[in-house]
Chains A and B, each alone.
Chain A
Amino acid sequence: MILRFWQFLRGWVTVEASGFSLERFLNMAAYHGVYIWDVVRTETGVRLCVSAKGFKMLKDSMRKTKSKLKITGKHGLPFMLFKYRHRKILIGGVIFFIAALYALSSFVWRVEVAGAERIKTEAIIDFCKTQGMYTGAYKGNFKAKEIVAALRKNFPDIGWADVHIRGTRALISLTETIPKKPVIDRKTPCDIVATKDGLITAIVTGAGKPLVKRGDVVKQGEVLVSGTVPLDVTAGGQVPEKTYVHAYAEVWARRYTSIKFSVPLVYDEKEYTGRKKTGHELQLLFLNGKTVSAGNSSVPFESYDKMTKRFQPGVSGDYPLPFILVTHTYREFELKQKARSVAEAAALAERMLTGRILREFDFSADITDKQVKYTETPDELIVDALIVTNERIDSAVPVNMTAPPSGSASPVYLLLPDNGDDYPVE
């Protein structure tokens, strides 16, 4: 196969040889290193194949053995080129084709990301763009190793990354790290502060001094458990008056949340007329993503849904071509006014309410009661729901150690004599 291709490149001729000592002619040719193949005996002599270069070397042997040679066929690339030497456009076309093929395959025509789950694929692609690797980037303008290093530096969640450029496709493979659990820094003194208003139903303190008890009503931002712990100063003069801890507590509170919305009894609904139009576009990546529309691109509908499909053809997967076929499908619809009964509206309201509860409350919150009031008006159904929940309201906030703790009713004041100054800082 390779030999055949080589022969094609170099050119070869078929020769009819005649004479009295053809065997001697063959021996001489072989002795001079001429490669001869497909020797067939004919009635007048032999027919043989020889390379174009070898044929010139045969002339000496031919003269010595007094044999006659006649070329019966010329094959291969050099003869083809000779035959087509006057066809300038053809030659130009061939050269242009090879040059274009070479030029276009030295760009990246698709950037793919594999393995991104928590990190957004778009974020990685956008970041690679700032590093010089994007659709249409010249392959010599960036180095895969540098992109990998930059990616790892920019995204701390990437554990391992690789940029593999194969053909005209750049594949970014990465593995994300295991998500870090929030580390509680127990060295920083913290207060437990209410995140929401509510009535305390349970308070379990692990560390710190609780300032509220069960049944208290607290406001958002109020300190529930103080990280400032007073020490018994009567024990001796060496003991500081107070110390700071990282307060820890689980505080549950009852909360009342009102959700109000209305369901209209008359509404618009899309009704597809069944009329469609498809438009085709060609996005040329080598012209900075310029698009070329095929045919009339105007949409003959007043209101329509648009669906877009993008397809980038490629050769053998590794050679995405530098254009994207974009197909837009327009589906016409008409807005029809429709009416729903009160029962239908109530059923819809129930579903909407459930959806809102799921969205608006934390997963750990217990819904203890739900009171829904429906008010019917001529054109809508007003829903007024009161949701009673039991949920956690604690959060740790670092202690401000220079200012006195807010709220003068703090028990700390009761234990320590108020000297009118700021508390000393250890």
Chain B
Amino acid sequence: MGLKEKLAKTLALPKEIVLNLPVVVWTGRNEANIENYKGILEYTDTCVRINTRAGLLVAEGSRLRLKQITAENILITGEISVISYKVVV
């Protein structure tokens, strides 16, 4: 356990801020907001791969669009079926 993680645990601070972890808010099927990302690795109609602190985040589905891109968050819309983390080998 790192120092920052200990700090977050003892002071009950939000981890996404202290450790810069991604926050995924998946609203219904059609909208997912990913905060604290590091970069887009791939974007196609069916798959969005995003690099985050916690690992590689993959959103799969169809007709995927990036509704918003800012330095802090990405808003994915479309028919999202799976959001998962892939282990980076």
Residues in chain A within 8 A of chain B (CB atoms) = 22-23, 26-27, 29-31, 33, 35-41, 46, 48
A–B complex contacts, Cβ < 8 Å, 29 sampled: A22-B43, A23-B39, A23-B43, A26-B40, A26-B43, A27-B40, A30-B69, A30-B70, A31-B71, A33-B70, A33-B71, A35-B68, A35-B70, A36-B68, A36-B69, A37-B67, A37-B69, A38-B65, A38-B66, A38-B67, A39-B43, A39-B65, A39-B66, A39-B67, A40-B65, A41-B64, A41-B65, A46-B43, A48-B66
Which residues of B1-42 have CB atoms within 8 Å of chain A's CB atoms?
Answer: 39-42
User: Which 6 A-B residue pairings sit nearest by Cβ, starting from the closest?
Assistant: A39-B66, A36-B69, A27-B39, A23-B40, A41-B45, A30-B69
B44 at the interface (CB under 8 A from A): yes
A37 to B67, CA, bound (A): 5
Question: Are B41 and A23 in contact (CB-based, < 8 A)?
Answer: yes
Contacts of A26 in B (CB 8 A): 40, 43, 66, 69
Collect the chain B residues with CB atoms within 8 Å of residue A27's CB: 39-40
Q: How large is the interface on B (under 10, 10 to 19, 20 to 34, 35 or more residues)?
A: 10 to 19
- Once the chains bind, are B65 and A23 in contact (CB under 8 Å)? no
Interface string of B68-84 (1 = CB under 8 A from A): 11110000000000000
Q: Taking chain B's interface residues, is the majority helix, strand, or loop, or is none over half, making it mixed?
A: strand
Task: Please give me the residue from chain B that is nearest to A42 by CB atom.
Answer: B45
Closest Cβ neighbor of A3 among chain B residues: B68
Task: Give me 6 other A-B pairs in contact (C-beta within 8 A), A26-B40, A37-B68, A39-B66 excluded.
Answer: A22-B43, A23-B39, A30-B69, A35-B70, A37-B67, A48-B66
- B43: which A residues are within 8 A, CB to CB? 22-23, 26, 39, 41, 46
Whether B44 contacts A39 by the Cβ 8 Å rule is no
Shortest distance from the beta carbon of B13 to any chain A beta carbon, whole Å: 26
Residues of B within 8 A of A36 (CB): 66, 68-69
B69 is contacted by which of A29, A40, A41 (Cβ under 8 Å)? A29
A39 to B40, CA, bound (A): 13
Partner of A30, one of B44, B65, B71: B71
CB distance from A416 to the nearest CB of B (A): 106
**B45 to chain A: which residues have CB within 8 Å?**
41
**What chain B residues lie within 8 Å of A40 (beta carbons)?**
65
B17 CB to closest chain A CB (Å) equals 20
Most buried by B among A29, A30, A31, A35: A30
